[in-house]
């Protein structure tokens, strides 16, 4: 039999560990990533001409980042690595890629989707103004370009990234006007038993909050965002919010980054026709998989944050585990003992991730009260009131139906940034449970595809 | 649910696409009680996924009376429906390529015949076209411009017809898939997958690509083939292209078309059609068909090559071997009518089909020529 063709999408921690396992088994996997360099999100590598040290770029995770990068560098001769290559579709046993305007279809026997996550956003009135970013975007600006998103910055939302980005901005010398956390302190206390599954990571988080305090950054817990102030010409000018005790306050700033933890990039799994189920804990639809990462489609495996948000360490373990499962399914010898121990690791990370989801809950109720004049879908410029009006007129109560009538989620981000909030709004407005609202179906291309695309000439 | 009471009305319509929804509205206009049964949700299949061309030019000459009837309804759709279905009478251009000069003659001949049916077309050379519409590429040899054609939003149209019908008293049941239809005595009894039954003396089948499953129950199978045309849409760019544009060619791969919506996105369609899966109510776009479509679009309008597409989709359409729909009364069963199998071009004529079928049912006939659409043409022997 010819050597099995393994394709790994994503060169972050999970894709890197998956590739390493395949190479160790004597195979030469294809590793595809749309980014210019390997590393994925958390361990995103700086451009070639930048030389900031690991400790400065990755803080407490510097050691892990360095090991992972060295692992990837060591694999380079043994893998078929294709950076700056977007997988835009999966069909007929092939992944369909675009590198600039050059297209290629590649067949696979096993496909590992290690596609990572993007910010989960809850719209706030005014979030379309220039100067409003996602927390991830704010971090990318700092990590890859060493620039701040503004002179005076507010970070708002919830989740570990809120504190991480805040402390990275403080460390880089930026003026952080406030950290506004929508989750209450009580949620953290309730989540503590699960968070203790990973004491060192928990401790890192506590240390971050202390560092922010020491730096004199105002941190408010249990807030309700009211509005990002500003206008279309000059952009963001401040934030209005209610404190936990209900008092309305204003902070002046020229940039804000928002985010509520993360959401997995599941579009490719959807295009590969993997089955999805509703996850009540995170109020998200996730692709089904068994304990090793097998999806509902034979030959398609899911790992890392692209399958479920379990964090970078879990991504390394689940990437390796999914690769071993794929190798075993292809009839290659694998270490069963190692698979058992990886399953244990992933379960422990899952416990911690459950704690994070409890400590930093998605403020679903905010979607219900989003004012009618607030933009809900930025790509298509649809307001919350537009969607409510369409629902009243047409009776639409299902996500794709509401999209068809209102254009919510129909733009270039394909609902990545508004889809979850829109589903909450639909559920609240129509009184149907969120899982019945369903999920926006994934449609190719997963990112914009040039009309100029064609075969290599 | 056996023994469930059957709901009765004058007419049952099976299939809530544009044909069924508009027929329901016009039947109510005749004061006839209607029950519209839809397996999925109203207007989510071909009628909700199509390209949105509201084009008369290029249709068989015999279809123009029906198309003219439809255009009159599109023009008053806002008042008729109480909703904006984004109908724009912004023109349509059909072009041919240099390597097929013989098609210029066909265009001239068509224009002469169309004029007799009330459709005025202006023939333009490639250069004249490029002066007026600079996006055309050098391969374009000539074109036929129809200023009174245009386009509309398919996602909105059929549901708007259905809501208007409902306001006038039509009963609409979504998620109601009819699995059995029979004539018992004077009445048709149709049964849904969950056992509910509906009863009426008249039955209209507007089940699109699924029509054969129902016509076969009355001994009238037809050779319908379900396929999925491919669509793409670009990110929004400043609104500059008013007419819808399409290529005249005998080669399926070359048949591409595009239109720009007022919001700015350019909708692209055509080239090789894919397979579709009527049982799952889904059609998937095959990536190679997207690529061939983009290649053909670059040939037609090279400047579009600077844009990106942000989404692709397909829909399930039923094609007849002669590209003509099955429309009119059954040949085996009195009180039974069909309007399905619109072969890739039912959107424009849809409201005209609804009005005509309602007229036939209410008045026993119509002036619209129906000969080419008779189901008998597929009868065995
Ligand atoms: C913006 C952002 C910042 C984050 N920062 C931190 C942090 O500082 N600390 C922390 O603990 N966690 C952070 N996280 C969480 C972190 O992403 C994950 O825990 C970890 O990176 C998951 O690893 P992964 O291998 O699953 O995915 P990733 O590391 O995200 O890697 C996925 C890779 O897949 C590629 N990819 C995705 N789709 C395609 C496609 N269609 N075609 C080609 N390539 C594709 C991406 O380019 C990416 O390189 C962050 C997440 C985000 C979204
Ligand atoms: C991608 C695409 C592009 C197109 N572009 C154009 C264009 O630009 N211009 C143009 O004029 N035409 C176009 N067409 C063709 C046009 O869309 C169709 O001809 C037209 O919409 C057909 O309408 P319909 O009501 O017959 O079918 P449909 O809209 O498919 O409606 C049939 C309905 O019947 C229902 N049904 C089926 N079986 C049952 C059952 N047993 N019980 C209950 N309900 C049932 C289905 O669920 C469906 O909703 C295109 C078609 C497609 C798919």
Kind plus residue range of the DSSP H or E element containing B25: helix B18-29
DSSP assignment string, A109-178: SEEEE---EEE-----TTTTSTTEEEHHHHHHHHHHH---S-SEEEEEEESHHHHHHHHHHHHTT-EEEE
Strands B230-234, B244-247: parallel, antiparallel or unpaired by DSSP?
unpaired
ipTM of the complex: 0.93
Report the CATH number at residue B368.
Answer: 3.50.50.60
- Last residue within a domain, chosen from B279, B314, B349: B314
Give the closest-approach CA distance of B136 to chain A in angstroms. 16
Confirm whether B72 is domain-assigned: no
The answer to whether residues B218 and B96 belong to one domain is: no
The answer to whether residues B42 and B110 belong to one domain is: no
Cβ within 8 Å of residue B326, ≥6 positions away: B211, B215, B222, B224, B320, B338, B339, B340, B341, B373, B374, B375, B378
What does the block give as tokens for B130?
Answer: 């490029």
The answer to whether residues B233 and B301 belong to one domain is: yes
Confirm whether B84 is domain-assigned: no
With a 6 Å cutoff on the Cβ, whether A87 touches ligand 1 is yes
Mean pLDDT of the A260-265 span: 96
Q: Which residues of B touch A (CB under 8 A)?
A: 41, 44, 48, 83, 155-156, 159, 163, 234-235, 263, 284-288, 290-291, 294-295, 297-298, 304-313
- The rounded Cα A115 to chain-centroid distance in angstroms is 9
d(CA B334, CA B318) in angstroms, rounded, equals: 25
Contact B284 A91 (CB under 8 A): yes
Confirm whether B80 is domain-assigned: no
With a 6 Å cutoff on the Cβ, whether B293 touches ligand 2 is no
Sheet order of strands, A6-9 included: A80-82, A30-32, A6-9, A110-113, A300-302
The answer to whether residues B251 and B307 belong to one domain is: yes
Q: Which residue has the tokens 């690509």?
A: B209
Three-state DSSP state, B228: strand
- A21 pLDDT above the threshold of 60: yes
Contact A405 B290 (CB under 8 A): no
Confirm whether B59 is domain-assigned: no
Q: Which ligand is nearest to the CA of B319?
A: 2
The answer to whether residues B112 and B143 belong to one domain is: yes
The answer to whether residues B212 and B305 belong to one domain is: no
d(CA A421, CA A405) in angstroms, rounded, equals: 17
Residue B354: which of B215, B88, B170 has the closest Cα? B170
User: How many domains does chain B divide into?
Assistant: 2
Give the HSE-up count for residue B20: Cα atoms under 13 Å, Cβ half-sphere: 36
With a 6 Å cutoff on the Cβ, whether B161 touches ligand 2 is no
Query: How many helices, marked H, and strands, marked E, lie in chain B?
Result: 10, 24
Give the closest-approach CA distance of B110 to chain A in angstroms. 33
Report the CATH number at residue B243.
Answer: 3.30.9.10
- Last residue within a domain, chosen from B265, B292, B314: B314
pLDDT in tens, B134-157: 999 999 999 999 999 999 999 999
Mean pLDDT of the B223-233 span: 96
- B3 pLDDT above the threshold of 60: no
Strands B202-205, B336-340: parallel, antiparallel or unpaired by DSSP?
parallel
What does the block give as tokens for B307?
Answer: 């844009």
Instruction: State residue B381's pLDDT score.
Output: 58
Confirm whether B260 is domain-assigned: yes
Cβ within 8 Å of residue A257, ≥6 positions away: A132, A133, A134, A135, A137, A138, A149, A153, A154, A155, A156, A165
The answer to whether residues B242 and B374 belong to one domain is: no
Within 8 A of A91 by CB-CB distance, chain B residues are: 284, 286-287
Instruction: State residue B6's pLDDT score.
Output: 57
The answer to whether residues B255 and B301 belong to one domain is: yes
Instruction: State residue B4's pLDDT score.
Output: 46
Mean pLDDT of the B237-246 span: 96
Contact A451 B288 (CB under 8 A): no
Cα separations in angstroms, B325 against A66, B60, B93, B348: 66, 12, 24, 13
Residue B243: which of B344, B69, B121 has the closest Cα? B121
Output the average pLDDT for chain B: 95
- Please name the residue of chain A whose CA is at the shortest distance from the CA of residue B297: A451
Output the average pLDDT for chain A: 94
Please give, one letter per residue, the 3-state secondary structure of A208-267.
HHHHHHHCCCCEECCCEEEEEEEECCCEEEEEEEECCCCCEEEEECCEEEEEECEEECCH
The answer to whether residues B41 and B190 belong to one domain is: yes
At A206, the pLDDT band (50, 70, 90 cuts) reads confident
The answer to whether residues B198 and B236 belong to one domain is: no
The answer to whether residues B287 and B175 belong to one domain is: no
Contact B155 A89 (CB under 8 A): no
Q: Give A45 or A302, the one with higher predicted confidence.
A: A302
The neighbouring-strand residues paired with B145 are B93, B122
At A61, the pLDDT band (50, 70, 90 cuts) reads confident
Instruction: State residue A71's pLDDT score.
Output: 98
Domains of chain A, first to last = 6-118+263-356 (3.50.50.60), 121-260 (3.50.50.60), 365-437 (1.10.10.1100)
Q: Which of B270, B290, B292, B301 is best to mutate for the A interface (most A CBs within 10 A)?
A: B290
Cα dihedral sign for A104, A110, A116, A120? positive
- Last residue within a domain, chosen from B274, B293, B314: B314
Instruction: State residue B2's pLDDT score.
Output: 38
Mean pLDDT of the B20-36 span: 98
The neighbouring-strand residues paired with A104 are A97
Confirm whether B361 is domain-assigned: yes
Contact B83 A405 (CB under 8 A): no
Task: Give the residue numbers spanning the domain of B129.
Answer: 92-147+229-314
- Give the orientation angle of helix A419-430 with respect to helix A384-394, to 10 degrees: 50
At A1, the pLDDT band (50, 70, 90 cuts) reads low
Confirm whether B45 is domain-assigned: yes
Mean pLDDT of the B55-66 span: 96
Confirm whether B81 is domain-assigned: no
The answer to whether residues B295 and B244 belong to one domain is: yes
Percent of chain A with pLDDT over 90: 86
């Amino acid at each position: 039999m010819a050597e099995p063709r393994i394709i790994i999408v994503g060169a972050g921690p999970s894709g890197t560990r998956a590739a390493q396992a395949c190479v160790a088994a004597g195979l030469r996997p294809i590793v595809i990533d749309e980014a210019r360099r390997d590393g994925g999100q958390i361990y995103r590598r700086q451009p070639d001409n930048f030389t900031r040290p690991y400790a400065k770029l990755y803080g407490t995770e510097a050691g892990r980042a360095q090991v992972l990068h060295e692992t990837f560098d060591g694999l380079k001769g043994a893998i078929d690595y294709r950076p700056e290559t977007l997988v835009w579709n999966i069909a007929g046993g092939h992944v369909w890629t675009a590198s600039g305007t050059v297209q290629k279809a590649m067949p696979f026997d096993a496909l590992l989707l290690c596609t990572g996550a993007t910010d989960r956003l809850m719209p706030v009135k005014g979030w379309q103004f220039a100067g409003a970013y996602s927390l991830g975007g704010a971090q990318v600006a700092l990590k890859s370009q060493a620039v701040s998103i503004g002179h005076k910055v507010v970070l708002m939302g919830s989740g570990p990234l809120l504190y991480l980005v805040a402390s990275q901005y403080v460390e880089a010398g930026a003026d952080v006007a406030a950290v506004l956390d929508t989750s209450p302190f009580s949620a953290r206390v309730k989540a503590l038993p699960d968070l203790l599954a990973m004491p060192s990571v928990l401790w890192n988080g506590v240390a971050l909050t202390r560092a922010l305090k020491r730096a004199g950054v105002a941190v408010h817990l249990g807030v309700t965002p009211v509005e990002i102030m500003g206008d279309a010409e000059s952009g963001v000018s401040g934030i209005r919010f209610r404190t936990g005790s209900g008092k309305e306050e204003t902070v002046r700033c020229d940039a804000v980054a928002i985010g509520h933890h993360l959401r997995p990039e599941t579009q490719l799994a959807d295009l590969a026709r993997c089955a999805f189920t509703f996850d009540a804990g995170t109020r998200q639809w996730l692709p089904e998989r068994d304990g090793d990462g097998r999806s509902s489609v034979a030959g398609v495996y899911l790992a890392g944050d692209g399958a479920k948000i379990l964090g970078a360490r879990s991504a390394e373990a689940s990437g390796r585990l999914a690769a071993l499962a794929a190798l075993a399914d292809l009839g290659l010898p694998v270490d069963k003992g190692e698979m058992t121990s990886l399953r244990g690791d992933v379960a422990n990370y899952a416990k911690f991730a459950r704690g994070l989801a409890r400590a930093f809950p998605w403020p679903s109720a905010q979607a219900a009260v989003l004012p009618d004049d607030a933009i809900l879908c930025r790509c298509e410029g649809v307001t919350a009131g537009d969607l409510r009006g369409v629902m009243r007129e047409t009776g639409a109560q299902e996500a794709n139906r509401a999209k068809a009538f209102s254009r919510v989620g129909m733009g270039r981000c394909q609902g990545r940034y508004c889809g979850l909030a829109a589903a909450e709004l639909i559920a609240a407005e129509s009184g149907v449970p969120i899982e019945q609202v369903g999920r926006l179906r994934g449609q190719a291309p997963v990112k914009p595809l040039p009309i100029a695309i064609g075969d290599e000439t | 649910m056996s023994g469930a009471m059957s709901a009765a009305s004058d007419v049952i319509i099976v299939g809530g696409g544009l044909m069924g929804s508009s027929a329901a509205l016009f039947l109510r206009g005749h004061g006839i009680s209607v029950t519209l049964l839809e397996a999925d949700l109203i207007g989510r299949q071909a009628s909700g996924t199509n390209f949105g061309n509201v084009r008369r030019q290029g249709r068989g000459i015999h279809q123009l009376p029906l198309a003219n009837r439809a255009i009159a309804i599109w023009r008053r759709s806002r008042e008729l429906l109480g909703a904006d279905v984004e109908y724009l009478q912004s023109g349509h251009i059909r072009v041919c390529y240099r390597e097929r000069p013989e098609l210029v003659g066909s265009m001239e001949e068509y224009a002469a015949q169309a004029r007799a049916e009330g459709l005025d077309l202006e023939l333009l050379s490639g250069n004249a076209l490029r002066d007026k519409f600079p996006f055309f590429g050098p391969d374009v040899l000539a074109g036929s411009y129809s200023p009174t054609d245009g386009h509309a939003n398919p996602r909105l149209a059929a549901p708007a017809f259905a809501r208007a019908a409902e306001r006038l008293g039509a009963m609409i049941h979504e998620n109601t898939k009819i699995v059995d239809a029979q004539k018992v005595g004077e009445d048709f009894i149709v049964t849904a997958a969950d056992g509910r039954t509906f009863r009426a003396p008249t039955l209209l089948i507007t089940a699109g690509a699924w029509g054969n499953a129902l016509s076969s129950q009355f001994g009238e199978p037809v050779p319908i083939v379900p396929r999925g045309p491919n669509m793409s849409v670009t990110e929004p760019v400043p609104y500059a292209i008013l007419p819808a544009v399409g290529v005249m060619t005998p080669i399926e791969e070359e048949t591409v078309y595009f239109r720009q919506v007022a919001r700015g996105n350019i909708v692209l369609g055509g080239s090789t059609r894919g397979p579709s899966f009527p049982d799952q109510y889904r059609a998937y776009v095959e990536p190679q068909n997207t690529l061939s479509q983009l290649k053909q679009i670059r040939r037609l309008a090279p400047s579009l090559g600077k844009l990106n597409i942000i989404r692709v989709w397909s829909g399930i359409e039923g094609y007849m071997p002669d590209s003509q729909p099955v429309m009119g009364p059954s040949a085996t069963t009195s009180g039974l009518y069909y309007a399905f199998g619109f072969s890739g071009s039912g959107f424009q004529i849809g409201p005209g089909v609804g009005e005509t079928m309602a007229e036939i049912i209410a008045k026993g006939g119509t002036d619209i020529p129906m000969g080419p659409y008779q189901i008998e043409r597929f009868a065995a022997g």
